[in-house]
Amino acid sequence: MSAVLDSALSADAPSAAAAAPQAFDIRPLGGALGAEVLGLDLSRPVSEDDFRRIHRAHLDHHVLVFRDQRITPAEQVAFSRRFGPLQIHVLKNFQLAGHPEILVVSNILDAAGQPIGLGDAGHYWHSDLSYKDKPSLGSLLHAQELPAEGGDTLFANQHAAYDALPDDLKARIDGLRAEHSYLAKYEELRARSPWRPKLTQAQIDEVAPAVHPVVRTHPGNGRKALFVSEHFTTRIVGLPEAESRALLDELFARSVRPEFVYRHAWRPHDMVFWDNRSVQHLAAGTPDHLRRKLYRTTVEGS
C-alpha cells in the first residue's frame, strides 16, 4: 500500500473503527475510465476496510459513481472529509446555507429571480481549483434534482492523454510549468451569464494565479498525467506568448479526445467522485427550461 493511501486513511473518520462492513460491488464502466459502486450506503458509517477499498478503486478508476445515495449534506461533507480537508469555493454566495463546504451547482432561480447556485460550472474543460497553490485532490457531486434531458458530465482521462502523446511532444513538455488563473475566463463567462457576481478585490486576492507542472506525477498511483486545461491554464512559463498559446492549444486538443472520455448520464441520487489529478471534466449543459441542482464538495490535494 502506498504512503498516500495510508495517510488518507488516517483522515477524520470518527465512527469508522466501530462500523460494520457493507457488501458492495465495484464494477468498471468500461472504456476510458470510471467504475460504479453498487450496494454501498454512505448514510451508514463506512468501515476502515471498506474505505480502503473505495480509496484504492478511486486511484485505479479515477471516477467513482456511487449509485442511489440518499444522504444529507452533512453526510456528504463527512464522507468527503475522509479524503482530506475540504476547500471553500471563492463564490461564497453559492454555498449551501449552513454548509460552507458545499457549492451549489444549479441553473435554478429563487422566488426573487436570483440564482441559487453556479449555473455554468464546468462550461469549459477543467480540473477543479487548479488555480490554487494546492489544487484539488477530487470532487464529489451529489445529484439533488435532474433534468429530463441533458445535464451530462464528461470526464477525460489525463493519464491516457499523456501516454498517447508522441515522444517528441513528451520530450518538449518535460519540465515545463504553466500558470493557472481563476480569472482566465471569468469575464467571458460573466458576459454570457450576467448573474455571475463581479468579484471583489478580496476575492481576486483569494484566487491569485498558481504555477504547476504541465505534467504531474500522480501522488497516489505514480502515473504521469497532463495538467493543463482550457478553462484555467493561461500560459506556459518562460515561453514567448505565441509559442505558449500554440503549445497549449495543441495540448488542450489532445487531452480531451473522444477515446479518453467517459460521459456520465446522471441517475437520481448518484454521487460521483472524480480525481482532479487524473481527469478533466466538462458540464455538457442543460436546456434553459429544465431544472438541475447538485451539491459539490471539493477535497484539497497537494
- CA 215 – CA 225 distance, rounded (Å): 6
The least distance separating ligand SIN from the CB of residue 295, rounded to whole angstroms, comes to 11
Please report whether residue 248 would count as binding ligand SIN according to CB under 6 A: no
Tell me which of 50, 128, 270, 275 is the catalytic residue: 128
269 is catalytic: no
Is residue 168 within a helix (H) or strand (E), and if so which, with residue range?
helix 167-173
Choose which of 47, 76, 153, 278 interacts with ligand SIN (CB under 6 A). 153
Please choose, from the candidates 40, 234, 64, the residue with its C-alpha nearest in 3D space to the C-alpha of residue 140.
64
- CA 254 – CA 278 distance, rounded (Å): 15
Choose which of 227, 248, 296, 297 interacts with ligand SIN (CB under 6 A). 296
Q: How many residues bind ligand SIN (CB under 6 A)?
A: 10
The least distance separating ligand SIN from the CB of residue 151, rounded to whole angstroms, comes to 7
Please report whether residue 122 would count as binding ligand SIN according to CB under 6 A: yes
128 is catalytic: yes
196 is catalytic: no
Q: Which residue has the CB atom at the shortest distance from ligand SIN?
A: 122
The least distance separating ligand SIN from the CB of residue 139, rounded to whole angstroms, comes to 6
Tell me the Cα Rg of the chain: 19
* Angle (CA) 27 220 247, round 5°: 100
The least distance separating ligand SIN from the CB of residue 220, rounded to whole angstroms, comes to 21
57: three-class secondary structure by DSSP: helix
Nearer of residues 24 and 124 to ligand SIN, judged by Cβ: 124
The least distance separating ligand SIN from the CB of residue 1, rounded to whole angstroms, comes to 30
Query: Which span (46-54, 92-100, 121-129, 165-173) binds ligand SIN, by CB under 6 A?
Result: 121-129
> In this structure, are strands 35-38 and 261-264 parallel, antiparallel, or unpaired?
unpaired
- CA 107 – CA 128 distance, rounded (Å): 19
Interface mask toward ligand SIN for 259-288; x: CB under 6 A: ----------------------x-x-----
- CA 54 – CA 256 distance, rounded (Å): 26
> In this structure, are strands 293-300 and 153-157 parallel, antiparallel, or unpaired?
unpaired
Nearer of residues 224 and 296 to ligand SIN, judged by Cβ: 296
**Could you tell me which residues come within 8 angstroms of residue 188 by beta carbon, excluding any fewer than 6 positions away?**
none
Query: Which span (8-16, 52-60, 120-128, 164-172) binds ligand SIN, by CB under 6 A?
Result: 120-128
- CA 130 – CA 103 distance, rounded (Å): 16
Provide the grid cell at 286. 442543460
- The strand pairing partners of 109, in sequence order, are 115
Choose which of 8, 102, 105, 161 interacts with ligand SIN (CB under 6 A). 105
Tell me which of 89, 123, 126, 277 is the catalytic residue: 126
Nearer of residues 73 and 122 to ligand SIN, judged by Cβ: 122
The least distance separating ligand SIN from the CB of residue 128, rounded to whole angstroms, comes to 6
DSSP string across 63-124: EEEE-S----HHHHHHHHHTTSPBPPPS-GGGEETTEEEEEEEE--B-TTS-BSS-TTTTSS
The least distance separating ligand SIN from the CB of residue 53, rounded to whole angstroms, comes to 25
218 is catalytic: no
- Where does this chain bind ligand SIN (CB under 6 A)? 105, 121-122, 128, 139, 153, 281, 283, 294, 296
Write out the catalytic residue numbers: 126, 128, 281, 296
